[in-house]
Structure 1
Amino acid sequence: MRRVALTGGTGFVGRNLAAALREAGLDIRFLSRSEPDGLSGNDDYAPCDLTSDIDSAIFDGCDALLHLASHIPSNQSDPAAAEVCLTVNARGSLLLADAACRAGVRRLIHLTSGNAYDPSDYSLRRETHPLGPISRQYYLGSKVAQELYLAQFAMAHDLSVTALRPGAIYGAGRGGGLLNVWMESLMQGRGITVTNGGRYGADFVLVDDVVRAVMLTLQLGAEGTFNVGTGQRWELSGVALTAARVAGLGEDSITVLPAEGPPDPGFAPLDCSRLAALGFEATALADGLETMLPHYGS
């Protein structure tokens, strides 16, 4: 394998994955609507728009497709977001897979979401647990459809598909991310405020771990569906306390505001034993937050 096609290569996860691919000696063809800045080495670019027909020629010379591009609506409660999410995330993924297959690509790895499980009792969710998001349905529903569409397509074509379901991804370089805002504030000696009682919870996974999951399944040729997380659900109140300790501050640097209105249910933790069987090891939250320190002063 010499060259991989990559969508979402200029996004948060994509930038980190691109660095890992180059380190592994792989060339990258970036697929996006506009040419990314700073192409290096043997990397190249081909125009690709997930809302329209896709020319199979953009995959010439590529051995695999890594599909990270996704539309996440700024307003998760706006019904108008449903059409865009389905068009880009579900239908666009299908068009992409079809074009890749017509070009002779036989390997596809795509990111969906580990937050699409029914979180009712917050117990560990295995890959076999039914999908049924009870919040953010316009986006998460489209990611479920993305999985279904590509699984159906793979059954009818000679295509090896891997679906990775990450939890709540965090890490240095995520512009506007809550944990980034918190770490920057704490490292500058300012306090942080946790809203709604800090009851929202999720399986927070370091971006480096998501990249490792992609590289691991790519290198091993592992097919099927894999959760990517830590196996632990953290409520924001606990995340804030951990962040403060990592930054060398105490509980007095945290203000927790009471909940207003219906609580955000958040998401369940992910059972990652299937990925662990391939050699995956998750980064603990405190260790992951420590990797962010150099970016905000240490």
Structure 2
Amino acid sequence: MTFLRSRYVEPTRGETMSVTTHVQRPLRLGFIGWGAINRRVAQLLRDRQGERIIVAAICLKDVADGVDVPAGAMIITDPGELRHVELDFMVEAAGRSAVAEWGEAALQQAQALVVASASAFCDDVLLERLVSVAEENGTQLLVPPGALAGVDAIAAAAILELDEVIHRIVKPPAAWRGTDAEKLVALSDIRRSATFFAGTARDAAARFPQNANVAAITALSGIGLDRTHVELVADPDASGNRHELVVRGDFGKLSVSIENRPLAANPKSSEMAALSLVRLVENRFLAFAR
């Protein structure tokens, strides 16, 4: 998708060469879901880019959920209605079920769809279907790095053979409340670091979709959902949400750790999850993409 276009005009005798540059038009953005992450993304984009980005549509299950939406944004509750909206880019952060509900329509209408709820791709059939829709429509299905560091390196390293990928997720006990962790460990009694789950990324992301959704991102970047090993840890001394990655393969060895501040409006998510989405959106139209 190109927003800056230049036209070369061959000069005739006695004329000088001229180059006409078109003015960049605003990127038309759609959100699937209007929870804490997408609201944060919209706020940061508004503060940083102003009128260079237009929030054209917000996709919701219920119109009543459309609280404090940006002026001019169309609230949509039926995927079929997307065909009436001009969109360049769509961002999903509404949970696994929303990917299945809105994914096909988004890929048919917009030039790219970012799926933050990567745990949805534990469903191999869904992933294959959306990839097929993207190929048929010449669009892109993108998975953001989320709260992680080193995802680009893992994806590059996976060009060669990878032997092992380990993803360890460490959060304060309170961040695991309301999840299956409460069935595996007495969170209120933890006095030191406790690993309460060890298994594949597929199992971790499926069982803990809010807290371990990011494990699917690691897996999709590297050796897959069934070969990526995940450990989930409740640590009373943790001051934030920490991700520790260890990767070994023909490229060498990677070891990286990142500790994120929780998202103020939702401690189960990280601020970095929203920031990674902002970067992806901005890189669709900035002349210097990073």
Please classify the TM superposition score into its range, dividing by the shorter chain length: 0.3 to 0.5
The structure richer in strand per residue is 2
**Structure 1 length-normalised TM:** 0.43
